[in-house]
Amino acid sequence: MVLQSLAGLPAFLLYFCVSTVAVIAFLFIYSRITAHDEFDLLTKNVPGAAISLGLSMLGFALPVASAVAHASDILDCIIWSIIALCVQIIAYYCARIPVPNLSQRIAAGEIGPAIWLGLASVTAGLLSAASMTW
């Protein structure tokens, strides 16, 4: 019975590792696209940077989790993870429309714009995840 339960372990490890790499790639790419340096702000203890980046990462992880659950194979999962990354980039630029100085305000330590960006990212991620369930 235990061996039967562990039969899925290789697939689990593969999808978990691919998902982890996808999140790391997201953080690398997303932090270079935004007009503020999230990791520098985190080292300076700017809470808004942690809020916006953490929620944006969650907004990315939601559709990646959906891709893992619904993908036909690992390549399909990777493709949908790339699409989820694109959605998050679009969400960042859309969040800047009503708040054009969004990054500057986050860098200045304002919490409101950080929450706005983070929740815009989570919303985009939820919609993206739901759209992947076809």
Is pLDDT of 52 > 90? yes
Give the model's pLDDT for residue 122: 98
Q: How far apart are CA 52 and CA 58, in angstroms?
A: 10
CA neighbor of 69 nearest in space, from 6, 14, 4, 132 = 132
CA neighbor of 59 nearest in space, from 31, 92, 106 = 92
Average pLDDT on 88-92 reads 98
Give the model's pLDDT for residue 1: 73
Q: Where are the domains of the chain?
A: 50-134
Q: What is the dihedral of CA 30, 63, 5, 20, to 10 degrees?
A: 0
What is the pTM (predicted TM-score) of this model?
A: 0.94
Average pLDDT on 72-90 reads 97
Which band of pLDDT confidence, cut at 50, 70 and 90, is reported for residue 4? Answer: confident
Distance, CA of 52 to chain centre? 11
